[in-house]
Chains A and B, each alone.
Chain A
Amino acid sequence: MRLAFDEATEAFRRELGAWLDENAPDPATTTDRSRSSSDIPDWARAWQRKMFDAGWLVPGNPPELGGRNATLIEQFVHREELGRRRVYPSFNPQGLGIVVPSILAYGTEEQERRWAVPILRAEITAALGMSEPDAGSDLAALRTRAVLDGDRFVVNGQKVWTSGAHHADVILTFVRTDPDVPKHKGISVLLVPTDSPGLTRRPFGSMVSPDERDFNEVFFDDVEVPAENLVGELHGGWRVATGSLGHERAMLWLGFAERLDDLVAHGAAALASQGLIDDPVVLDRFGDLVVDAHALRLLGYRTLAKARRGIEATEQSILKLLGSEAVQDATLYILEALGPDGFDPTARTAPHEPLNWDGFTTSWFERYLRSFPGTIAGGTSQIQRNIIAERVLGLPRS
């Protein structure tokens, strides 16, 4: 056990830091803001391309894919350092974090060239089509149907919650290709261009605001998709699904850890400004928040240390559960501690961060609402508890 990373790792961090100091965009150029998780403003496209070219976008990748074959620890330090500096890795997070790794892991070389590289270079953006009206936590119950007809699939059905679909160029779409086998065994994955005839996207407002339009319903009406857009094996989509979510989860905790660090800092400022820092209830709750923030980071470090020792970590569900619920608790504490001073829905709760997503610094009420995607998306807290009960505690399946 050591508190510090080794010198080689710190040298890597310094090299990244020096590059960021030199190359990060001038805040004055960042006034055009992202409107959805597939909308990358021009300045951010140029910035992502710059990171790609320098091998700093996804350092674990080889150089031709925007990386430098970095070790696991180096990949972590990269994410940690970007987070510390509040540099959003990509304004198309699901493209970079889920779609591209899925293509690289399961797709063909042609798919890598045609789709993955352009997503990495911010030339196009991607959305993830998993959830359906009747397939949420029970994802494998999805019913969007794809029928192979010669050299093309014909797709019919509906997706929902498809973040950023209305601004995306392609949707990694999970479809049912065999309805006559157990549900996990009849799923396939297709790359569906959003300009395909018969594909309709209908964005809808989130709870936060009718104007915050990231979620979409996506309707497929006899949409023809070339057979070469099949990712992985026919009917082998469940493996891609679990792998995709695995990518999403691997360092997901770091996002929660950054949110908690933010909440400690922004919360302290808010409480101090209202003269609440001697209130014993506030001290109790704020102390709990600080404990959560440290515990999450430490448990994350533990998974990292285990991974480096070649031990498969069972903690991902624990990290997601603890991190998302701690963020929710913390935003609630602060919102309620502020009383009527927390009313203003347009208030900013922290200084504007030019290279980060704007949703992290909105009003306390909004930040509280925004904590719910953390406890709902990517496997609800209840699903995480089921997973921990079965896989970690060894309890019988319910």
Chain B
Amino acid sequence: MDFELDEDQLELQRVVRDVVERECPPALVRAVVAGDDDGADLWKTLVQLDWPSLTVPADAGGMGLSAIELVVTLEELGRVADPTPFLGTTSQYVPVVRAGAGDGDVRQQLLAEVCAGGTGAVAFAGGSDAVRAHRDPAGRWWLDGTARHVLDGDRADRIAVVADVVADVVADVVADVDGELDAGTVILVVASSDVTATRTPTFDAALHVADVAFDGVGVGRIEVDDDHAFHGPGIDRAVARARDEAVTGLAAVTVGACQRILDLVVAHVKERHQFGVPIGSFQAVQHMAVDVHVAIERARALVHFAALALAEDDDRSSLAASMAKAAAGDAQRIAVRHGIQLFGGLGFTWENDLQLFVRRAKAGELLLGSTAEHRARIARSVLASGPVR
């Protein structure tokens, strides 16, 4: 075990921090929230630096780096409450497309789009929040249902859908079409113009969340070319891994937002004087700030562990991703609560930048499974199979 970022990773961290602090100041986030800017220039800058293609394999034109470099980058973007589709594209769409077991040429082409600045979103819509898929005898795919709370669902160029294959339809067509096809999961990639996406109001207005209907009025069932469908053996594991990467990426952003809250709070309590002394000299204040710091360190360690497990294709990656998300959830809860409290009235204003990062930190808790859901998942996994070291 060597659990510290290497020199190249630390250098990447420094470069990303430097660039996004300069290119994504609070003023930009405020302009996006106010509708005066769409973050397109920032996105162009990120594309020029090739960062959206960080984990796109080199043979598809990407940087070919691992989930570790991804979380390092995402934490820095969380620190500035990044308003671009970076999180959704890099931690959700790219892993899902990379996971695709379908036609290699199509996959390479989809990934090449990302390298050129294309954006993507993922409707993780299997299971209870199901979008259903079936394939007709002519080999065309059809989708039904609505995926809710899709990050960047309203603005991404492409949407990857993780859908349940409808079993009874499969039974009808399986003999005619494809002996391998079974009920299960399929990844379908569609152009955003083929779906009806409705952006939903979000307290973090720099974040885009949308409901994406695949059977909306006037559209009906949409068709997908079979070349854009990924299915077959290993798809469940591939989807699970992609989801783990998405969960880990969101945890990294949350940790970054929490770190920014703590940075602002620490600067504030050093400056703010009451009773003739900086309030940061009071132990009641210090201990609250320390508890935020410890919660962030705890969460960051687990985010790095999850990324490392993904990078090394380790069996613990799924457990690790849930631990990262749960710990990031713990961190945001205490960072938001203590962060607002320690700023006092001065923090409870629209003008104070604290609110930007409070929103981003809390948004992280509400997506891709709450702390409670991930804790229960972790507990069940350990109680079922024994402790994992």
Seen from chain A, the residues whose Cβ lies within 8 Å of a Cβ on chain B are 1-5, 261, 264-265, 268, 271-272, 277, 280, 282-284, 286-288, 290-295, 298-299, 301-302, 304-306, 308-309, 315, 318, 321-322, 382, 385-386, 388-390, 392-398
Contacts and interface: CB of A to CB of B under 8 A. Distances in A.
A291 B302 contact: yes
Contact of A291 (B283, B327, B387): B327
A294 B374 contact: no
A295 B302 contact: yes
Given A2-B312, A292-B298, A393-B293, 18 more contacts: A3-B1, A287-B326, A287-B375, A287-B377, A288-B375, A294-B305, A294-B320, A295-B301, A295-B327, A302-B4, A305-B1, A305-B4, A322-B298, A382-B287, A385-B286, A393-B290, A395-B280, A395-B285
Nearest to A1: B308
B289 A298 contact: no
B41 interface: no
Secondary structure at the A interface, as helix, strand, loop or mixed, is helix
A302 B287 CA distance: 23
A385 B295 CA distance: 13
B121 interface: no
Contact of B5 (A1, A318, A392): A1
Nearest to B387: A264
Interface in B367-389: 372, 374-380, 382-383, 386-387, 389
B323 A290 contact: yes
B294 A283 contact: no
B282 interface: yes
A3 B314 contact: yes
Sorted nearest first, the 9 A-B pairs with minimum C-beta distance are A287-B375, A389-B286, A305-B4, A301-B3, A287-B379, A298-B301, A283-B379, A395-B280, A295-B298
Contacts of A304: 1, 3
B382 A388 contact: no
B289 A1 contact: no
Interface string B291-314: 101100111011011001101101
A301 B1 contact: yes
A268 B383 contact: yes
A299 B298 contact: yes
B290 A394 contact: no
B287 A283 contact: no
B379 A306 contact: no
Nearest to A287: B375
Given A261-B389, A283-B375, A287-B376, A388 B2 contact: no
Contact of A398 (B1, B283, B312): B283
Contacts of A3: 1, 308-309, 312, 314
A318 B379 contact: no
B283 to A, nearest CB: 5
B355 to A, nearest CB: 22
Max count, chain A CB within 10 A of own CB: residue among B270, B311, B375: B375
A294 B383 contact: no
Interface string B1-29: 11111100100000000000000000000
A287 B330 CA distance: 12
A395 B382 contact: no
B323 A302 contact: no
Contacts of A301: 1, 3
B378 A389 contact: no
Nearest to B285: A395
A299 B297 contact: yes
B12 to A, nearest CB: 12
A280 B383 CA distance: 13
A390 B302 CA distance: 25
B294 A388 contact: yes
A305 B298 CA distance: 16
Contacts of B280: 389, 395-396
B147 interface: no
Given A1-B2, A1-B3, A382-B287, A318 B304 contact: no
B1 A5 contact: yes
B302 A305 contact: no
B109 interface: no
A78 to B, nearest CB: 15
Contact of A277 (B270, B291, B299, B383): B383
Given A268-B387, A322-B294, A287 B6 contact: no
Nearest to A293: B387
Contact of B1 (A2, A283, A287): A2
Nearest to B298: A295
B150 interface: no
B94 interface: no
Nearest to A397: B281
Interface in B337-389: 372, 374-380, 382-383, 386-387, 389
Nearest to A297: B389
B104 interface: no
B376 A284 contact: yes
B278 interface: yes
B378 A309 contact: no
B87 interface: no
A295 B295 CA distance: 10
Nearest to A307: B4
B101 interface: no
A271 B301 CA distance: 28
Contacts of B283: 382, 385-386, 389, 398
Contact of B379 (A284, A299, A393): A284
Contact of A393 (B4, B289, B301, B375): B289
Max count, chain A CB within 10 A of own CB: residue among B3, B287, B382: B3
Contact of A1 (B4, B277, B330, B374): B4
A125 B58 CA distance: 62
Max count, chain B CB within 10 A of own CB: residue among A1, A3, A282, A288: A1
A271 B382 CA distance: 12
